[in-house]
Amino acid sequence: MISTVLAQAAAGGGGILGQVFLFGSIILIMYFFMIRPQQKKQKESKKFIEEIKKGDAVVTIGGLHGKVSSVETDTVVLELDRGLKVTVEKSAISLDFSKKTTTSK
CA distance 41 to 28: 19
**pLDDT on residue 95:** 77
β-sheet bridge partners, residue 89? 75
Contact 37, 55 (CB under 8 A): no
pLDDT of residue 84: 94
pLDDT value of position 73: 87
Provide the strand spans (E) within the chain.
57-59, 65-71, 75-81, 84-89
Spell out the domain ranges in the chain.
Answer: 2-46, 53-104
Give me the pLDDT at residue 79, please.
Answer: 94
pLDDT, residue 75, reads 93
- What is the C-alpha separation between 28 and 98, in angstroms, rounded? 33
Residue 87's pLDDT is 94
In which region does residue 84 sit, left (phi positive, over 0), alpha (psi from -120 to 50) or beta (all else)?
beta
Q: What is the rounded CA–CA span in Å between residue 16 and residue 34?
A: 27
User: What top-level class would CATH report for the domain 53-104?
Assistant: mainly beta
**pLDDT per position in the chain (105 positions), as tens?**
555 555 555 555 568 988 999 999 999 999 999 999 999 999 998 998 988 999 889 999 989 999 999 999 899 999 999 989 999 999 899 876 766 666 655
pLDDT given at position 8: 59
- The pLDDT assigned to 105 comes to 54
